[in-house]
Amino acid sequence: MSISADQKRALDAQAVNNFREYLQIPSVHPDVNYDGCVKFLRSQAQSLDLPVKIITLVTGKPIVILTWIGKEPHIPSILLNSHMDVVPVFEDKWKYKPFSADIDDEGNIYARGTQDMKSVGIQYLEAIRRLKLEGVQLKRTVHVSFVPDEEIGGVDGMKKFVHTEEFTALNVGFALDEGMASENDDFVLFYGERSIWHIHIHCPGTPGHGSLLLNGTAGEKVSYILNKFFEFRKQERQKLEDNKELTLGDVTTINLTKLEGGVQPNVVPPELTVVIDCRIPVTVDHKKWEQTIKGWCREAGPDVFIEYSQKGTPVPATKLDNSNPFWIAFKQTTDALGLKIKPQIFPGGTDSRFVRGVGLPAIGFSPINNTAILLHDHDEYLNKTTFLKGIDIYCKIIEALANIEHRTG
């Protein structure tokens, strides 16, 4: 059953209204209250005639799952994941109120979460709404998950969830999650992610009066270590400049994010601590890289030691070849739609790394192109036309993924 032009206009209006309503729920860190999101998603489940389940692994941090049961519910399902939380805002830097979801004369919808990633969550639901109205029946069950805390590492969200009986019961065979906007005609697709290391290097040294030339001070050790990191950083930047085929996800990034220690200007401190944000590509041997860092610390002087507040383990990337039927279906569908897909390693971190970490294939994809990349930035927006086009894209992708024949043996 096809949808008439009048129905399409009504569905588009409903989709935009739902998107704006979701954006107006301030599920913002640091103190997120997810109650508004849960209430909203319950109402969406009711309007779609889909069962909804709320799983709470950590108090105040619900996981919401809507399920469209397929004709063959015993075969592995499709998981469409998004996160409910958004990053903080500096309201005085915004053109519009960041949780008002105002639309300007060009159809741009301004709000925190338009790109990262409330748009995708609503596009999943609106695509399902259209497919159901068209009378489409899918082989595989489709689960739509809305998780908490992705923006602060996902520790109490997807990271815990993938190791539960509730997740196992979903029988996931493949997952879609967020990608990123593209400023040109391309649609970027992410099939792997770099490991995130937050490295705290403690540099004890000789304390004393600021007027002296003491040996082995904490500052000297910090200087040596930072010189090593920044020289390496310069080499990685040069790789990007020399090879235009590489993207940020293909190199190791190093950034000094904190310097801690000291009491007053005329006292040489007994210890200083350097904090480094490091993102490691899937192509880098993590053990060798750690040995390199330890070597720099030994060279800097005695008693220097390392602590990690985050130390991601290497997770194999999702295969984009004939061994992965979900990739084949995705690629054939986007080719038929005339979309220019550009596979990359994601430069940051998303919940996909936890899904891949339990051995499941996952792809990060947000159907946003010809749009300024504004995730975590001021005046984050998404154009209404781009948002609606994304729903049409997901209609085709979801149908293709959920109708793949199940392979046995």
Question: Catalytic site residue 85?
Answer: yes
Question: Number of helices (H) and strands (E), helices first, in the chain?
Answer: 10, 17
Q: Could you give the CA distance from residue 202 to residue 274 in angstroms, rounded to a whole number? A: 7
SS3 call for 2 = coil
CB 173 within 8 A of CB 76: yes
Secondary structure of the chain: what % helix, strand, coil (to 5)?
A: 35, 25, 40
φ and ψ at residue 310, rounded to 5 degrees? -150, 135
- Paired sense of beta strands 305-311 and 195-204, if any: antiparallel
- Cβ-based neighbours of 316, under 8 Å, separated by 6 or more: 192, 282, 356
Of all helices (H) and strands (E), which one includes residue 148? none
DSSP state of 320: -
Q: For the sheet containing 102-103, what is the strand order?
A: 102-103, 108-110, 381-383
Question: Hey, what are 343's tokens?
Answer: 């596979």
CB 375 within 8 A of CB 181: yes
Say how far residue 62 (Cα) sits from the centre of its chain: 18
Catalytic choice (116, 126, 150, 351): 150
φ and ψ at residue 94, rounded to 5 degrees? -95, 145
CB 387 within 8 A of CB 119: yes
Q: Could you give the CA distance from residue 108 to residue 110 in angstroms, rounded to a whole number? A: 6
Closest CA to 16 of 280, 399, 404, 391: 391
* Rg of the chain on CA atoms, in Å: 24
Question: Catalytic site residue 185?
Answer: no
Say how far residue 289 (Cα) sits from the centre of its chain: 24
CB 182 within 8 A of CB 87: no
Count of all residues that appear for the chain in the document? 409
Catalytic choice (85, 193, 380, 399): 85
Closest CA to 184 of 366, 325, 369, 26: 369
Question: Which residues are catalytically annotated?
Answer: 85, 150
